[in-house]
Amino acid sequence: MSGKVALITGASRGIGRAVAARLAREGYAVGINYHERKDKADELVTELTAAGCRAVAIQADVAVRAEVDAMVRRVEDELGAVTLLVSNAGVAGQALFQDVTDELWERYFAVNLNGARHAIQAVLPHMLHEHSGCIVTVSSIWGLHGASCEVTYSCTKHALIGLTRSLAMELAPSGIRVNCVAPGVIDTDMVQVLGQETLDDLARQTPLGRLGRPEEIAAAVAFLASDEAGFITGQVLTADGGFLP
Ligand code: NAP
């Protein structure tokens, strides 16, 4: 097996799901990673295979290296070696800093940062061997800017940008590009906990006057993954409707 194979972590719902659908339409065979929502991941596989795309759903907690390694082996067996990794899986929540427990801090870092590290290290051997490949991480505007009551999340997303920029320098001589998308407020399950009033307020604070759609982040990821972005590496593409000044 050969050709374009994308692994998207956290692809059962939200942004990852839209990324997987977009890449599948562009001719990638897609590995759809999920953590708990097998139903949603299976539904997406059914939808994509009915449209003639190649897709498999694979359960793994990205925080656990052995599960990520097993997931990548399965993608390689069923679809071929991964040529594009979209490290998207993430967790978020709000808490005052004095209420942040060790468990919460460690879990956010385990998923948002170590999850990316595990996935990247698992797909790298093939990319290094081929002297080509593409990695796109999904950070956040809160990885570029501070966020009250989201210190932990913001730290993980800042770190993810550091990982992206440094890894891009390290892997460029090996022909592997590493970039990041930093979404603003996107209408997914993740932000529903904020409540409608806060979401309306965030839409008002967004110069384009609305929340973003997962498909709009998928378009940014698809661009960074494309040959059109062949000379772009180590960059953070903000897609936030103008939210950040
Ligand atoms: P979402 O709707 O909450 O979906 C999260 C996805 O991540 C789900 O597919 C979930 O899988 C998966 N996931 C969670 N923990 C996981 C784990 N330990 N291992 C593997 N998969 C895991 O979130 P979203 O809004 O699409 O966010 C996707 C990414 O964009 C995240 O990194 C987030 O930080 C970032 N982001 C989002 C926004 C926004 O406003 N929505 C803004 C900036 C950045 P299951 O469904 O199977 O549990």
Indicate the burial class of 236 (C-beta count within 10 angstroms; 0-12, 13-18, 19 or more). Answer: middle
Domain annotation covers residue 200: no
Query: Amino acid identity of 58?
Result: I
Count: domains in the chain: 1
Provide the CA 62 distance to its chain's centre, in angstroms.
Answer: 11
With tokens 């501070």, the residue in question is: 146
Ligand 1 pocket test target in 190, 201, 236 with most atoms within 8 Å of CB: 190
Domain annotation covers residue 222: yes
Ligand 1 lining (C-beta closer than 6 Å): 9-16, 33-37, 40, 61-63, 88-92, 111, 138, 140, 183, 185-186, 188-191
Which residue, 15, 14, 27, is CA-closest to 6?
27
Domain annotation covers residue 205: no
With tokens 């320098």, the residue in question is: 169
What's the CA gap between 117 and 124, in Å, rounded? 10
Instruction: Respond yes or no: is residue 153 known to be catalytic.
Output: yes
Domain annotation covers residue 23: yes
Whether the Cβ atoms of residue 240 and residue 185 lie closer than 8 Å to each other = yes
What CATH number corresponds to the domain at position 217? 3.40.50.720
- The confidence score (pLDDT) of residue 2 equals 54
Domain annotation covers residue 245: no
pTM greater than 0.95 (yes/no): yes
Lookup: tokens for 222:
């698809």
Q: How far is the CA of 92 from the centre of ligand 1 (A)?
A: 8
Contacts of residue 226, defined as CB under 8 A and 6 or more positions apart, other chains included, come to none
Domain span holding position 163: 5-182+213-237
Domain annotation covers residue 150: yes
Please give, one letter per residue, the 3-state secondary structure of 118-170. Answer: HHHHHHHHHHHHHCCEEEEEECCHHHCCCCCCCHHHHHHHHHHHHHHHHHHHH
Domain annotation covers residue 225: yes
- The confidence score (pLDDT) of residue 32 equals 99
What's the CA gap between 26 and 227, in Å, rounded? 12
Q: What are phi and psi of 145, to 5 degrees?
A: -150, 150
Q: How far is the CA of 173 from the centre of ligand 1 (A)?
A: 31
Query: Amino acid identity of 190?
Result: M
Per-block mean pLDDT, blocks of 10 residues, the chain (245 long): 89 99 98 98 98 98 99 98 98 97 98 99 98 98 97 98 98 99 98 96 98 99 98 98 96
Domain annotation covers residue 154: yes
CA atoms within 13 Å, Cβ hemisphere of 49? 13
Lookup: tokens for 43:
């539904």
